[in-house]
Structure 1
Amino acid sequence: MNIEHAREFLALAQCLNFTEAACDLNMTQPALSKHLAALERELGAKLVERTRKSIQLTEEGRIFFETCGIIVNQYDKMQLALDEIKTARPLRIGGRFDDADVATLMSMTAMMHRNAHRSSLAFARSEGHDALDALERGEIDLYIDYANPARLKERKLSFRPFVSNPLVAIVGSDHGLAHRAHIEWEDLRNETLVKFVSDKTNPAWEQIEELCLAHGFAPKTRPVSSLNDVEFFSTPLHGSVLIWKRTQKQIGLLLETGQRACVPLASEDARITAYLVFRPTDEARLASLFEAIDEAKTLIEKRKRREDDPL
């Protein structure tokens, strides 16, 4: 039985007026009539008798009315109990926690979330399309990764920015761009970009590719397999350009060798973003976590300002 149809019958039975009941239920009178007819078909009984001036409950309608209130009340109690259980269980979060930027913000967020006596958090390392499948199946409640927003929309998943970092071009010290103070996207039009192929880098690469397309060119690429950070940053460039986030700590170490140069991308949109990905139905449940994330971001920003201006 459709519980909402039963709820609507209760409202109608109490006032015996279609117009008034429809108004109380914030619905149209034709919709109420349609739902009543569906309920009568389901029960196999006529519940109301209509005349030109009024409506009355039939004998079957009076019997159903006496039981219907109990059914609706018990349903509401059951739903409340289920919601309490769902709220009490930990929020299950998957993501790329080997990424320093993601891990730093999430660590501070977790501390603030727990200190506020909010629901507990459980973390699991999960990546790529399998993680999105797990999210859709309800095995995790939130996924954090450098995902492609277009693909998330296709899967009807909700998302919001988590961390966003500027991009840089990493080139050999003898590359023509190595001594530039900065470059624009146009400077990469005729360059070959290193495209690392792995579950870790594919979603991030899609963001970079979308930025190239937004600036009017499809990037020329040299695919390279990469299973970990060691392969990622030690792969010979052979004249190609590696585009990656400026905050990656290995970049600074590579520059110390004198064999690589790091050139900032000057465009305002030259950023790569890790997103919080979740099912639309879970947004309300995740609200306290989102508040903790905003608080953590504010603290991190205050710390950066103090470091930039110690006086």
Structure 2
Amino acid sequence: MDLNYLREFKELAQTLNYAKAASRLYITQSTLSKHINALERELGCRLLDRDRRKVELTEAGRRFAAASMTIIDTFDRMQEELGALEQQEPLRVDGVLYDNTLSSIFSVATMLLESAGLPPVDYSHKAEKDCLDLLMEDEIDIAFSSVSPQECEEAGFVTIPMTRTRFVGLMSKNHPLASRKFLTIDALRDTCLLKFADTYSINGWTIIEQRCKDRGFTPTSRTVLGRNQNNYVTTPVGENEVSILSSNIPQMRFLSEVAPVVALPFTDEDAFFPLYAIYKRDKEEKVRAVMDVYRQARDMVVHRED
């Protein structure tokens, strides 16, 4: 059914005058008459009683007039909503974007956002800036980071737990701890830890350092410059060094087969990197729909991994 014919019938039903209706619609009376006749043929009933002196709605015409108004109003309202949605800027997201579990969550969330008719999310990593600074300056709307909830709360941010990824200790096969099946944080007292000095991993190091301090020691470390999230696992480790990485790094599965290293899991309950979704408290309304989707995607991905 042609929606324009419905609009024309609506106008005629309100005026009950072909000349007035045609004038308001900017069409000829003969065109209007043809369109109304086409509607009646399609519906299989008469909508109007016509004679030379007046036009009246039939019972079917009255019912169809009410229905057509509802249809047109609903369509027009939906067009406005879709237009506003189309013009809405996508939410900007930054931070730890290359974590393997988060990447899966983002992929699922993209499909959920699309199926829900929500705008897409803009993922663009600005390596030169801290993600909390980007949040504070309104350059992004949501950040994914390991920054502690306490620090975020002090800055006026909301934190939503997203993932917990277990520590893995990467070391040379000649390391004194390499013969073990498992590691503990306490066993690292006499070991030098690799400290990656980049904006991407600095929060991870803060967590590692805090776990050590919780056990009464400050870790010895060697700073590694110029690395990025894609090549942490390829950084050479000395014979008394350990690189603490995330267990979900894909290369970890086969690294010991191609390099003289071993990767050992930790048994400590707190030996994990937490990741949070962080946003400004005054942006809560703006990010609510996307955060609901992220939670749904997280539950799907984490449940599958478990």
TM-score w.r.t. length of structure 2: 0.65
Per-residue CA distance 1:54-97 (angstroms, 9 max, x = gap): xxxxxxxxxxxxxxxxxxxxxxxxxxxxxx89x94322212332
Confirm or deny that 1:257 pairs with 2:258: yes
Give secondary structure in 1 for the equivalent of 2:156.
coil
> Aligned partners of 1:230 and 1:95: how far apart in 2?
15
Per-residue CA distance 1:136-162 (angstroms, 9 max, x = gap): 121211111333445434433222222
Q: Which residue of the partner structure matches residue 278 of structure 1?
A: 279
> Aligned partners of 2:112 and 2:231: how far apart in 1?
35
Q: Which residue of the partner structure matches residue 73 of structure 1?
A: none
Superposed, 1:15-164 pairs within 5 Å as 88-127=88-127, 129-164=129-164
> Aligned partners of 2:202 and 2:304: how far apart in 1?
32
Confirm or deny that 1:241 pairs with 2:265: no
Per-residue CA distance 1:189-247 (angstroms, 9 max, x = gap): 22111111111211211111111122222111111113325653222211211111111
Q: What runs of 5+ residues in structure 2 fail to find an aligned partner? A: 1-83
> Aligned partners of 1:128 and 1:174: how far apart in 2?
37
Which deviates more, 256-265 or 143-152? 143-152
Q: What runs of 5+ residues in structure 1 fail to find an aligned partner? A: 1-83, 306-311
Q: Which residue of the partner structure matches residue 61 of structure 1?
A: none
C-alpha RMSD of matched pairs (Å):
2.3
Give secondary structure in 1 for the equivalent of 2:190.
coil
Q: Which residue of the partner structure matches residue 215 of structure 2?
A: 215
> Aligned partners of 2:165 and 2:194: how far apart in 1?
19
> Aligned partners of 2:224 and 2:300: how far apart in 1?
38
Give the drift of 1:265: 0.7
> Aligned partners of 2:247 and 2:192: how far apart in 1?
19
Q: Letter of the aligned partner of 2:115 in structure 1?
A: N
Confirm or deny that 1:167 pairs with 2:167: yes
Structure 1 residues 149 and 129, CA gap change in structure 2 (3 angstroms): farther
Q: Which residue of the partner structure matches residue 206 of structure 2?
A: 206
Q: Letter of the aligned partner of 1:165 in structure 2?
A: T
Structure 1 residues 105 and 193, CA gap change in structure 2 (3 angstroms): same
Q: Letter of the aligned partner of 2:118 in structure 1?
A: R
> Aligned partners of 1:255 and 1:89: how far apart in 2?
45
Larger Rg computed on CA atoms: 2
> Aligned partners of 2:253 and 2:242: how far apart in 1?
16
> Aligned partners of 1:248 and 1:276: how far apart in 2?
20
Give the drift of 1:299: 2.0
TM-score w.r.t. length of structure 1: 0.64
Give the drift of 1:183: 1.8
Structure 1 residues 216 and 225, CA gap change in structure 2 (3 angstroms): same
Q: Which residue of the partner structure matches residue 62 of structure 1?
A: none
Q: Which residue of the partner structure matches residue 298 of structure 2?
A: 297
Give the % identical residues.
24
Confirm or deny that 1:195 pairs with 2:166: no
> Aligned partners of 1:129 and 1:286: how far apart in 2?
22
Give the drift of 1:129: 4.3
Per-residue CA distance 1:86-118 (angstroms, 9 max, x = gap): x94322212332332222211211221221123
